[in-house]
Amino acid sequence: MTDLTDQFNRPLRDLRISVTDRCNFRCTYCMPKEVFNSKYQFLVRDDLLSFEEITRLVPLFVEHGVHKLRLTGGEPLLRKNLEVLIRELVKIPGIDDIALTTNASILTLEKAKELKQAGLNRITVSLDAINENTFKRMNDMDVSVQKVLNGIDNARVAGFESVKVNMVVQKNRNEEDIVAMAEYFKGSGNVLRFIEYMDVGNTNGWEMDQVVSGKEIIDRIQQKFPIEPADPNYRGEVAKRWRYQDGSGEIGVITSVTQAFCQDCTRLRLSAEGSLYTCLFASTGTDVRRLLREGASDEYISEVIASLWKSRTDRYSELRGKNTDAIHKVEMSYIGG
Ligand code: SAM
Ligand code: SF4
Ligand code: SF4
C-alpha cells in the first residue's frame, strides 16, 4: 500500500459513501422545502451506484490508505437492504471500521439488529432538539422527538455500545436546547456532539450571524454542568472533547466555522451516483460511475483516485469569506456530510 498524501501532506484515511440523495426529513438547514419539493429531481434507481459497484470500488480506496467507512445520505436507511452492502464491506481486507450517520426515525429494533449482525461498528444519530415544537420546526416533516429517541434506544438494545448524537446549533432556532439536550444525554452512555451551523450547499440561506460558536456552546453548558477539556482519542479527531467533572460522560464540539480543521482533513466523499468529492464545499466531482460502466480496469480507476487525492488543495473552511462566497457548492444531502 502506498501512503498517498495531498498537496498539504494530508493522508487519505476515510471514505464517506452516500447511498441515496433522498430523505424523509426536510431539515431547514439542509433540505429546505422551497427547493426539495415535488419538483426536485432526485436520483432514480439506475443513477445510483449498485452495491456491487460500491463493493468493487472500496478496495481501490483501501490501496491508497482508506481504512474507515461511513455510510450516509440523504437518509441512508431509505436505501433498501443496507445490511446487505455492509455484509460485503466488512469482508474487504483493510477496512477496520464501518459507521452510519442517520436521522434514526425509521431505525426499528429489527433493522438495528440486522445492521449489527451485518458488521456495522458504530451509529451516529442526528437530533437537533429535545423540545418537540423546536424539533418539528427544524425537521419540517412533523417527526416527533420520541421517534428519534426510540431509534437511539433500538441501536443500544441491538448492541451498539454508545451512540453519538449530532445537534446542529442555529441562533434563534434551537439555542435554548443546548443545555436541555446536554441534560437529557448526560449519564446515558451516548455522546452528544454540538455542530456549528455550516454554509454547505446553496439553499439554506446561511449567514454568519446564525452561527452559535463552539465557545458559546461550552460557556452555556459550563454554567449548568462543570466540564473540563479531555484529550483527543486520536490525532485529527474532528470533535473537541469535554468531560463532565462528575464523571457522567462527555460531550463534543465541532467548530467547523470558528476553528477550522482543514489541516487534518483526511476524508474523501463518494456521492450516491458515484462522483468523488475531496471537500464538503467542492463544486464539482470526479465521475467514477462512468469509468465503472464503461469498463475501465481497476488499475485505471485506482490511478484516477490517486491523482485526484495527490492534487488536492482543499481548505475551504480556513479560507471562508475570502472570495469563497460566489462558489457554487454541492448540497449536503447529496454528498452526505
Ligand atoms: N440524514 C442523515 C442524518 O441527518 O444524520 C445523514 C446525512 S446528513 C446530510 C449528515 C449530517 O450533516 C447530519 O448530522 C446533519 O446534521 C449534518 N448537516 C447537514 N446540514 C448541515 C449544515 N448546514 N451545517 C452543519 N451540519 C449539517
Ligand atoms: Fe435529511 Fe439528514 Fe439533511 Fe436532515 S440533515 S434533511 S435528516 S439528510
Ligand atoms: Fe475538509 Fe473541506 Fe471541511 Fe476543510 S472545508 S475540513 S478541506 S471538507
Q: Does domain 14-335 have CATH number 3.20.20.70?
A: yes
Please tell me the distance from the alpha carbon of residue 290 to that of residue 308, in angstroms, as a whole number: 16
CB neighbour list of residue 307: distance below 8 Å, 6 or more residues apart: none
| Ligand nearest, relative to CA of residue 281 | 3
- Looking at the predicted structure, is the pLDDT value of residue 235 above 80? no
- Looking at the predicted structure, is the pLDDT value of residue 73 above 80? yes
With bands split at pLDDT 50, 70 and 90, how would you rate the model's confidence at 239?
very high
Report the run of H or E that residue 53 belongs to, with start and end.
helix 51-62
| Ligand nearest, relative to CA of residue 337 | 1
Amino acid of residue 35: V
Atom of ligand 3 nearest to the CA of 261: 6
Nearest CA to ligand 3 atom 4: 262
Mean pLDDT for the stretch of residues 154-163 = 98
Ligand 1 probe mutation, 23, 166, 197, 255, most atoms within 8 A of CB: 166
- Report the separation in Å between the CA atom of 222 and the middle of ligand 3, taken as the mean of its atom positions: 29
Closest CA to 68 of 124, 25, 29, 113: 124
With bands split at pLDDT 50, 70 and 90, how would you rate the model's confidence at 331?
confident
Q: Answer with the residue of higher pLDDT: 328 or 43.
A: 43
> Which grid coordinates belong to 6?
495531498
> Are the CB atoms for 107 and 155 separated by under 8 Å?
yes
Q: Output the pLDDT for position 321.
A: 72
How does the average pLDDT of the chain come out, rounded? Answer: 95
| Sequence spans of domains, the chain | 14-335
Please tell me the distance from the alpha carbon of residue 98 to that of residue 120, in angstroms, as a whole number: 5
- Report the separation in Å between the CA atom of 206 and the middle of ligand 1, taken as the mean of its atom positions: 14
- Looking at the predicted structure, is the pLDDT value of residue 48 above 60? yes
Mean pLDDT for the stretch of residues 64-73 = 98
Q: Output the pLDDT for position 324.
A: 65
C-beta of 25 in contact with ligand 2 (< 6 A): yes
C-beta of 16 in contact with ligand 3 (< 6 A): no
| Ligand nearest, relative to CA of residue 269 | 3
